[in-house]
Amino acid sequence: MVAPPWVGLPTDSTPLGHHRFAVAGEKYVHALAVAAGATPVLLPSLQPPLPAAHWLDRLDGLLLTGAVSNIEPHHYGGAPTWPGNRHDPARDANALSLLQAALERDMPVLAICRGFQEVNVVLGGTLHARVHAVPGLADHREDPAAPVEQQYAPAHAVQLTGGGWLAAWAGADRVKVNSVHGQGIDRLATGLRVEARADDGLVEAARSDAHTFVLGVQWHPEWRVTDHPFHHRIFQAFGDACRRYSCKADRS
């Protein structure tokens, strides 16, 4: 029996009480285990970050999760931040360095929400810090007062690119997705191919032309993944890519 691939999840550095904790949402861990068939490995975010090779030498894939924090704008040449905008410098340092090293190895990467934005930034793209403040773009944020089931319910449609991975996995050219983000893609990085757009034109998913499996989505396919065949297929494809990587990786 082939062992499940090991997939790393860079964690958030979150204050709880008097101390900071390395945190990852259980919904991502669950989706990796049940839909991707992978063994999740939580990677603590420290400053300075631990050398990426220490982890990547033993991993078969990288899952970049969403988070309550936003990437600090100096990473993409953005305007100064504003009071109340939540940041996580340790997550930035850890995830961005791990991602750069994973891309150099052609390691499979699935990137969700903040993770998609991290991919775009590492590859040279830029972000809208506040999508809702950009003329012509919709408000993609959830209602913070709503129950979580309503926050993660389908919120708007996206147009899937014909001939793309997502269109093939969905068996359709349009699907409805949840929408739980304030930042979004501004200039898409060179080398990323659009996989989905919202009706307001915002890029909602993209994959890399230069790598075997690097896919970013702005919505949250991990949410109740077993209830949604399309989202389950995204994680299954990522797990398959990690298994292929594991078979060819040289860990001697």
Residues forming the active site: 113, 220, 222
Whole-angstrom Cα distance, residue 76 to residue 184? 12
CB of 39 closer than 8 Å to CB of 4: yes
Mapped onto helix, strand or coil, the DSSP state of residue 145 is coil
Biggest CA pair distance of the chain: 54
10 Å CB burial of residue 65 (0-12, 13-18, 19+) is buried
Half-sphere exposure of 108 (CA within 13 A, CB side): 27
The closest of 129, 144, 141, 131 to 71, measured between CA atoms, is 129
Q: DSSP 3-state helix, strand, coil percentages of the chain (rounded to 5)?
A: 30, 25, 45
Q: Please report, for residues 26, 28, 215, 218, 246, the alpha-carbon distance to residue 222 in angstroms, rounded to integers and kept in the order given.
A: 10, 6, 14, 12, 23
